[in-house]
Every structure is written in structure tokens, then in C-alpha cells.
């Protein structure tokens, strides 16, 4: 029994290590408005509709929001609640086969808001947008697709996906 647990632990570690390297290797598609002064940006606020399009994954949305907050603040940006920020942040998180027929209620719940992707390693897509605070025009957008997260370290997987997308932000030229 101890040998089985040791093999299981080694397998889980290899899976996690494999996910970490694969996210780093996944391509990110970006687009931005030329002429935007990204280097002058210092403050941000989350858009009021963060994760609105993926509201059937509130747990994953909250983890993604926290990963965005952590990554942006570690890069020197300051989140503000009052006043006008330099940019607003929004994201959309979705999973392959994301439909009510392919989703399973969490812990036996029938509440649609408590549904989670079926399977232990769902394949996801994450789009992050930086918006003009006044007009809500998209000034920068980055998308990573086909990344996987595992049930054991879901938050770490989402943090890696956010990190990979934001590795392309801000663009080298504005």
C-alpha cells in the first residue's frame, strides 16, 4: 500500500511538472492599439463585469481574478477603488466542451452557479483585456488556449495561465 501511495505521489508530481512546462510553451495571441502609452500606466481597477461571460464558474473566476491581482501588483501596478485608474482589467475564462450538458454539479448540487467542468483536467482558454477607463475600448488583449488545470492544484494552474498571458504585457512598442 505504501508503494502504491509513493507511485501515486510521484505520478502526481510529474503531471504537475508537465503542466507547468506546457503552459510556458503555449503560444499567446495578443493585440493592442498602437500609440497607447502602456509604460505610463500605474493604476488599475477590475471592470465591473469581470468574468461575467463565464459566470457558471464562480470559483475559477475568483481564482483567476486573484491571480490577475497578484501578478499585476507584483509588476508594480496599484489597484485603486476610487478615482480614475489608468486602465481597467477584465477576463473571460472558458473550458472545452463548456455547456450545461457537459458540466457536472459540484458536490451533488443542482444549482447551475455551482457547476464545474467535467473531468479532472479540463482544457481551458483565457482572454485578458486591458480597457480604456472612460470608453471601455480594448487597448490590449491576450489569449492563451488549450491549457490544462488539474483538480489538485487548480489555483496554481490558473496562476500559470495568467502569468503566461501577462508575459506579453505591456507590449514592447506602444
pLDDT higher than 60, residue 31? yes
The answer, as to whether pTM is greater than 0.75, is: no
Q: Phi and psi of 96, rounded to 5°?
A: -55, 135
User: Is the C-alpha dihedral spanning 73, 154, 53, 112 positive or negative?
Assistant: negative
* The CATH fold of domain 2-166: Double Stranded RNA Binding Domain (3.30.160)
Whole-number pLDDT of residue 98: 46
Whole-number pLDDT of residue 24: 67
Give 67-101 pLDDT, tens digit per residue.
Answer: 999 999 999 999 999 899 999 999 999 887 544 33
On whether the CB atoms of residues 153 and 16 are closer than 8 A, the answer is yes
What's the average model confidence in pLDDT over 8-21?
42
User: Residue 147 CA to chain centroid, in angstroms?
Assistant: 10
On whether the CB atoms of residues 136 and 89 are closer than 8 A, the answer is no
Give 34-53 pLDDT, tens digit per residue.
Answer: 999 999 999 999 997 554 54
pLDDT higher than 90, residue 124? no
pLDDT higher than 60, residue 110? no
Q: Phi and psi of 17, rounded to 5°?
A: -65, -40
152, three cell numbers: 489538485
Element counts in the chain: helices (H) and strands (E)? 3, 8
What's the average model confidence in pLDDT over 109-115?
48
Element of type H or E holding 105: strand 103-105
What's the average model confidence in pLDDT over 122-142?
94
On whether the CB atoms of residues 66 and 107 are closer than 8 A, the answer is no
Beta strands at 115-117 and 103-105: parallel, antiparallel or unpaired: antiparallel
Mean pLDDT computed over every residue of the chain: 77
Amino acid at each position: 500500500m505504501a508503494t502504491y501511495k509513493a507511485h501515486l505521489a510521484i505520478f502526481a508530481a510529474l503531471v504537475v511538472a508537465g503542466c507547468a512546462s506546457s503552459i510556458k510553451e503555449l503560444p499567446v495571441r495578443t493585440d493592442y492599439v498602437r500609440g497607447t502609452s502602456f509604460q505610463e500606466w500605474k493604476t488599475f481597477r477590475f471592470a465591473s463585469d469581470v468574468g461575467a461571460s463565464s459566470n457558471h464558474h464562480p470559483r475559477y473566476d475568483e481564482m483567476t481574478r486573484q491571480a490577475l491581482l497578484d501578478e499585476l501588483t507584483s509588476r508594480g501596478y496599484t489597484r485603486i477603488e476610487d478615482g480614475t485608474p489608468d486602465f481597467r482589467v477584465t477576463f473571460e475564462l472558458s473550458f472545452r466542451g463548456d455547456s450545461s450538458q457537459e458540466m457536472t454539479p459540484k458536490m451533488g448540487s443542482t444549482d447551475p452557479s455551482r457547476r464545474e467542468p467535467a473531468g479532472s483536467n479540463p482544457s481551458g482558454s483565457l482572454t485578458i483585456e486591458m480597457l480604456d477607463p472612460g470608453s471601455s475600448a480594448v487597448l490590449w488583449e491576450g489569449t492563451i488556449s488549450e491549457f490544462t488545470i488539474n483538480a489538485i492544484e487548480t489555483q496554481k494552474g490558473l496562476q500559470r495561465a495568467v502569468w503566461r498571458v501577462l508575459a506579453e504585457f505591456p507590449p514592447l512598442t506602444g
